[in-house]
Amino acid sequence: MVLPSVAALLLDSTDGSASRWAFVEELFARLDTPLERLVAGWIGVLLLAVIANFVARRVIVRGMHAVVSRTKTRWDDVLVQHRVFERLSHLAPALVVYLAARVLLDGEGEEIYQDYLRRVANVWMILAGARTVHALLDAMVIIGLQREATRIKPVRSYAQVVQILVWVSAGILSVAVLMQKSPTALLAGLGAMTAVLLLVFRDTILGFIASIQIEANQMLRVGDWVEMPKYGADGDVIEIGLHTVKVQNWDKTITTIPTHTFMSDSFKNWRGMTDSGGRRIKRSINLDMNSVRFLEEADLERLRCVQALRSYLESRSTEVDRWNEENDVDGSSPINGRRLTNLGTFRAYVEAYLHGLEPIREDMTFLVRQLAPASEGIPIEIYVFSGEQRWVQYEAIMGDIFDHLLAVLGQFDLRVFQQPGGADLSRLEPLVSAQADSNLR
């Protein structure tokens, strides 16, 4: 048997006089039956493959990473990040299996096993090479995007097309090697069945291609908040399948969307907001245009009691007075020269108030602006980001901000614009009746 023969040989070779190859030859010479030689051959092939994989990944790849970490160039670090060397190391065990099969499985009746193992090794090398080229193309895209000349070009799209061609070619070659057929004959057979395959497996093919694109571009993940109004979807992704994507809406209903539509239709993914650490607050207050006016000296004295406005009023008043003095402005009319307005002062107060709130992110877009006047008044829009992203807490912060702003409008003699309601019209009724009576008299 195999184990007793190996044990006996080990005891006989303890003197160390035999070389490694002599040890192997003598080992196979002691195997009595074809089955023992076959088992020993398979064990030898697998053992050599494991050793080659260990040497390639633990020695060569780590050595390459150590060399790359010491260089000053950036492109080799990108190759390491995309695991190009690690994927290239998978060629080593496949190559060892291919070569060892001819040596260790060369006995009588073992040709079929040798041929099968070499075909598997060939497919292994083809797929390992395709994975390496895929990673290399991804790394080249990152390297290309760092250059100004290629940043404006769709290099990622070009790389994705090449990656698809690489994987299609690898699949055809792998099938051809396993079946021992010419790739040309395989392509001819596939061409004749293309129409049938597209008709029967249309959704599967579209879903498979879409799944590859979604994964490659990281367009969608489980847990992402997405909006797709065409399908009534607004909620968290709970499942991504080959044919469908399930979205749990905020009302706890489930919307099922075909996977391939995420490639053909537009949708909004809120993952960027989650990753940024902020959530946008964008809301306006419509003010009555008739309430906008210049500030008088009494108004300035009263508003200087507001702590958030003191520095603004001092610096702004000094600037305005200096400009009017330099330009010899006639102060008898408020139209002449520059004057502070209650609307501009209110905007300055809003900015100072928001800067003092802890949840508001100072490192993100911070804007208080006046939009174009319309029939609904003058919109004063707040465009800032809150560091609190949770829905309930976010709404509470936004509500507190606008509660405060609406309450302080009267301090600036500004009025909120709103359409007249039933109560407003009922108050007008006595005036209209009195006017009608006077006209009759």
Same-domain check for residues 265 and 351: no
pLDDT at 226: 93
Residue 433 domain-assigned? no
Same-domain check for residues 149 and 77: yes
CATH code at position 258: 2.30.30.60
- Number of domains making up the chain: 3
Q: Which of 172, 406, 189 is nearest to 286 (CA)?
A: 406
Residue 357 domain-assigned? yes
Same-domain check for residues 173 and 246: no
Same-domain check for residues 65 and 189: yes
Last residue of a domain, one of 144, 170, 200: 200
Helix (H, G, I), strand (E, B) or coil at 89: coil
Residue 197, phi-psi category: left (phi > 0), alpha (psi -120 to 50), beta (remainder)? alpha
Instruction: State the Cα–Cα distance between residues 31 and 195, nearest whole angstrom.
Output: 55
pLDDT at 399: 94
Same-domain check for residues 86 and 165: yes
Sign, CA dihedral 397-398-401-403, equals: negative
Which 8-state DSSP code applies to residue 247? E
CATH code at position 364: 3.30.70.100
pLDDT at 273: 86
Same-domain check for residues 369 and 224: no
Same-domain check for residues 102 and 231: no
Same-domain check for residues 79 and 226: no
Residue 97 domain-assigned? yes
pLDDT at 227: 94
Residue 326 domain-assigned? no
**pLDDT < 70: residue spans in the chain:** 1-45, 48, 100-114, 145-146, 148-158, 188-193, 197, 421-425, 429, 431-441
Same-domain check for residues 257 and 283: no
pLDDT at 439: 65
What are the residues whose beta carbons fall under 8 Å from the beta carbon of 30, sequence distance 6 or more?
Answer: 5, 8, 9
Sign, CA dihedral 374-376-380-381, equals: negative
Same-domain check for residues 39 and 182: yes
Domain of residue 260 covers: 218-275
Last residue of a domain, one of 150, 168, 200: 200
pLDDT at 10: 39
pLDDT digits (tens, 9 = 90+) for 265-284: 889 998 888 888 899 999 99
Q: Which of 410, 424, 419, 343 is nearest to 378 (CA)?
A: 343
Alpha-carbon Rg for the chain, nearest whole angstrom, is 38
Q: How far is the CA of 232 from the CAs of 125, 235, 251, in angstroms?
A: 46, 10, 12
Same-domain check for residues 181 and 237: no
Same-domain check for residues 271 and 284: no
Residue 407 domain-assigned? yes
